[in-house]
């Protein structure tokens, strides 16, 4: 049997299986984030908890494309649930970076796997983009609330928050990757899943 790099039905189904688990975790955390104060938590909890299914997923990734597809599907799901098209952009970039990283370890390196997941997790930042783009335009719409309003907002949602959130995604992704690998060793390898 020749092993080629074409994605077969089985690979696509694997993307679906682990994607489903990852999305359920994402959704559960997002429900918490319904209370707008907790929105930043999205960039912390999702990468950490999402590492558990993702690291197991990476043990099944031996060809290019699976990580990228996983990322794009997350983007599409974000669009469908009303988070806008920006996640699609960040998903494409994060997915590509994660692919390149994991491939560079020949799909076997544990370190590259964790790094890869860190890069992947940065897609979450796409959900925050609308808050930072069209900054003036959006708040100009609310000019009738007065200048004080605009000052207050610029204090609360300052532009420097953006890179902070992005870095949080990455760092928490690394943490999540480590957590995922720990559970891999403790449970999934012994259970025969990995």
Partner 1 sequence: MVELNNVSFRYGVEESGNLHEASLVHVDLTVQDGEFVLLTGPSGCGKTTILRLINGLIPHFYPGVTEGSVTVNGRSVQERELYETVLQVGTVFQNPRSQFYNVDTTGELAFGCENRGLPEKEIYARIDDTVRRFGIEKLMDRNIFRLSDGEKQKIACASVDVAGSEIILLDEPSANLDYSATLDLREMIRLWRARGKTIIAAEHRIAYLWDLIDRAVILRDGIIVKELCGAEKNALTDEELSAMGLRSVTPEAPDEIELPALKESDRTMVLRDFVFSYPGAKQPVLNLQELRLAVGEITAITGANGAGKTSFLNCLCGLEKRCRGTLEYEGKRYDRKARQKLCFMVIQDTGNQLFTESVLDEVLISLPKEIAGGKERAAELLKQLDLGNFLDRHPQSLSGGQKQRLAIACALASGRKLLLLDEPTSGLDYAHMMETAELLNRLRDMGTTILVVTHDSELIRACCGRKLSFDAR
Partner 2 sequence: MAYSSERSQEARRGFLDPRTKLALVLVLAVFVMGGLGGEALRPVKTILSALPFALLLAERQWKRFARGILMLGIGYGLLTVMPFLPRALNYLALLCGGILTRFVVTVVMGEYLIATTSVSEFISAMERLRMPRAITVPMSVMFRLFPTISAEWKSIRRAMRMRGIHLGGAKASQVLEYQLVPMMTSTVRIGEELSASALTRGLGGPTRRTNICRIGFRAQDAVLLAGCVFVVGVWILELCGVRLW
For partner 1, the closer CB: 167 or 193: 193
Tokens of 181: 């690998």
For partner 1, the closer CB: 167 or 182: 182
Residue 182 interaction partner, one of partner 2, partner 1, none, beta carbon < 5-8 Å per kind: none
Of 93-101, 109-117, 128-136, 167-175, the segment contacting partner 2 by CB under 8 A is 128-136
Residue 80 interaction partner, one of partner 1, partner 2, none, beta carbon < 5-8 Å per kind: partner 2
- Contacting partner 2 (CB under 8 A), which of 31, 32, 104, 138? 138
Interacting residues with partner 2 (CB under 8 A): 7-10, 12-17, 19-21, 23-24, 35-37, 39, 52-53, 56, 65, 69-70, 72-73, 76, 79-86, 130-131, 133-134, 137-138, 140-142, 145-146, 148-149, 152-153, 155-157, 183, 187-188, 191, 193
């Amino acid at each position: 049997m020749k092993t080629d790099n074409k994605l077969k039905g089985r690979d696509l189904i694997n993307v679906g299986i682990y994607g489903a688990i990852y999305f359920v975790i994402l959704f559960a955390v997002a429900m918490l984030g319904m209370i707008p104060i907790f929105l930043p938590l999205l960039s912390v909890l999702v990468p950490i908890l999402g590492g558990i299914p993702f690291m197991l997923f990476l043990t099944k990734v031996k060809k290019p494309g699976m990580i990228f597809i996983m990322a794009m599907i997350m983007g599409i799901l974000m669009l469908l649930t009303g988070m806008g098209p920006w996640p699609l952009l960040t998903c494409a970039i994060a997915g590509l970076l994660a692919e390149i990283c994991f491939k560079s370890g020949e799909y076997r390196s544990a370190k590259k796997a964790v790094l890869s997941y860190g890069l992947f997790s940065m897609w979450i930042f796409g959900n925050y983009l609308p808050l930072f783009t069209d900054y003036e335009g959006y708040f100009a719409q609310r000019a009738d609330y007065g200048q004080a309003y605009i000052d207050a907002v610029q204090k609360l949602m300052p532009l420097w928050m953006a890179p902070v959130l992005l870095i949080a995604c990455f760092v928490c992704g690394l943490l999540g990757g480590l957590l995922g690998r720990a559970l891999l060793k403790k449970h999934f390898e012994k259970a025969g899943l990995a």
